[in-house]
Structure 1
Amino acid sequence: MRTEVGVARILSLEEAIAELVHDGDTVALEGFTHLIPVAAGHEIIRQGRRGLTLCRMTPDIVYDQMIGAGCASKLVFSWGGNPGVGSLHRFRDAIQNSWPVPLEIEEHSHAGMANRYVAGASGLPFAVLRGYTGTDLPDHTANIKTIECPFTGEALTAVPALNPDVGIVHAQQADRSGNVQLWGITGVQKEAVLASRRSLVTVEEIVDELRPRPGAVVLPKWAITAVAEVPGGAHPSYAQGYSERDNAFYREWDPIARDRETFENWLGTDVLRAERSTR
């Protein structure tokens, strides 16, 4: 939930991360299957952020990379893996061996996470859903509570609103005033942005005017803190209309992430010494 309402500013990715993401923040990088804000995650790594609580409905390799780089102290999530390939080995190493730092986890269902964002975007203290029945997640997650419906007496589940300090998503386009449009498969990008105190949207391109598209999600400039033009900023995920999913990279990530030394070499070459966005 934005604490300040204004107009989105257009910044470089480096400037936006430096201003918006601080050590100890709760940060959500959302995107489902495509439009995953990978470039923003890499910039967080380059700027050496520490002690972050990372939130994501489906953490995949970008969170594996951020965890392996030592950015995170906690992960709030509903599923984690390298989609189509297997485990997240840097995530597993942090849980099992506290490398490079210990990692606390808070696990939810997909519905639970989505409803937490919706409650946060709506200014509500918690969300109510029919969920978690028959699972042992309530026994292991303090933020899942059983409540009784005051009207029917039905047993329901409550989860607290999720209001990240920073919500980061990737989209196809923004106009020069900071209005954003994304289309294709969408997850909870809209809800994450609206629930967050500050927000950053990286986009494939900035255009003079947004052309209406059927089913598109439009995030108005007053709901966004900053926009950064980052072509290819979702790679290796895809951006519909701009790029295809790099399936080979997901397969190649598995052996890279399995070994600490191999991962550190990759991190140094492909992220820490990689060229920053200058836009």
Structure 2
Amino acid sequence: MAVGTTLADAVRELVRDGDVVALEGFTHLIPVAAGQEIIRQGRRDLTLVRMTPDIVYDQLIGAGCARKLVFSWGGNPGVGSLHRFRDAVEHGWPRALELEEHSHAGMANRYVAGASGLPFAVLRGYVGTDLPGVTPTIKPITCPFTGEELAAVPAINPDVTVVHAQRADRRGNVQLWGLVGVQKEAVLAAKRSLVTVEEIVDELTPTPGAVVLPSWAVTTVVAVPGGAHPSYAQGYSERDNAHYAAWDAISRDREAFTGWLDDLRSAK
């Protein structure tokens, strides 16, 4: 467990070409700064995993970091499509993108299976949908007790999971609260994990409804105030709705996006 390194050093150590990488956070606490550092360091051939990929995955895909996307729904929330995502799928720019699509329930259960050390998860959620016909990682399975036909999906065990949280103590215990998605499960399922936080404190103050990730489950903690922007961190920052709207125009145009990417790569 490392606490207090830089974001650049943490990404350099933990994220490698060809990795399966999950950046999780559901509308809230999205690890945008870490995703953009992955872009700066030029990682390639990544399998990106995420429930509801939004603009940080649009950026990673447009930067050519991704070989494959494993996801459930994707879009610029409250605005529209992810245009770099669409360009990769429809035109192979900057490279072709392989897709593996699941439902929200399927993705959540896959993380739970990975965190539980199980090879797969079982659920009813795909009955009556077309997804089993286009997603080879959804298989029918018969309940040995009732004979009911269900769906099985393989566990997700990322090489590295990245999440953002409100705070951590100096021993590496992490605390997050508010609108929480599958961060806990995604971290527990991963081989390595990076948590960016708003602040590192001497002691975690009990907070109603908070999720605590113990230090033994976390590889590295880095203080990155504002690291979720333009998403929000409850108690620390608000959602920057104008940023999401502005991204629509940038992402629609390859030249505008390339200019944005040049600016990002030159920023320190």
For the superposition of Structure 1 and Structure 2, which TM-score range results when normalised by the shorter chain? over 0.9
Aligned partners of 1:176 and 1:265: how far apart in 2? Answer: 39
Q: State the secondary structure of the residue aligned to 2:129.
A: coil
Does structure 1 conserve the Cα–Cα contact (< 8 Å) formed by 2:23 and 2:30?
yes
1:212 corresponding residue in structure 2: 206
Which residue of the partner structure matches residue 170 of structure 2? 176
Structure 1 residues 31-42: aligned runs within 5 Å: 31-42=25-36
Aligned runs of 1:1-279 on 2, under 5 Å? 7-269=1-263, 271-275=264-268
Partner of 1:252: helix, strand, or coil? helix
**Any stretches of 5+ residues in structure 2 without a counterpart?**
none
Confirm or deny: 8 A CA contact 2:3 2:170 kept in the other structure. Answer: no
Distance 2:146 2:2 in 1: 44
Q: How many residues align?
A: 268
Partners of 1:20 and 1:42 in 2: CA distance: 15
Aligned amino acid, residue 242 of structure 2: A
Q: TM-score, normalised by structure 1?
A: 0.95
Two-structure CA RMSD over aligned residues (Å): 0.6
Q: Select the structure with the greater relative contact order (CA < 8 A; seq sep ≥ 6).
A: 1
Residues in 2 aligned to 1:36 and 1:211: alpha-carbon distance in whole angstroms: 22
Contact 1:40 1:233 in 2 (8 A): yes
**In 2, distance between residues paired with 1:145 and 1:11?**
42
| Cα contact 2:84–2:252 (8 A) shared by 1 | yes
SS of match in other structure, 1:56: strand
| Residues 122, 151 of structure 2: 8 Å contact kept | yes
Displacement, 1:9? 3.7
Letter in 2 for 1:16: A
- The separation in 2 between residues aligned to 1:274 and 1:41, in whole angstroms, is 14
Where does structure 1 lack aligned partners over 5 or more consecutive residues?
Answer: 1-6
Q: Deviations over 1:143-195 (max 9, x none)?
A: 00010000000011100000000000000001111110000000000000000
Which 4+ runs in 1 deviate beyond 2 A?
7-10
Deviations 1:37-67 (A, max 9, x none): 0000000000000000000001000000000
1:235 is paired with a residue of what secondary structure?
coil
Report if the CA contact (8 A) 1:8-1:223 is conserved: no
Contact 2:230 / 2:239 at 8 angstroms: preserved in 1? yes
Calculate percent identity across the aligned residue pairs.
Answer: 77
Report the alpha carbon displacement of residue 11 of structure 1 after superposing the two structures with TM: 1.7
Give the Cα–Cα distance (whole angstroms) in 2 for the partners of residues 262 and 50 of structure 1.
Answer: 22
CA displacement at 1:8 relative to structure 2: 4.3
TM-score (norm 2): 0.99
Aligned letter for 1:272? Answer: R
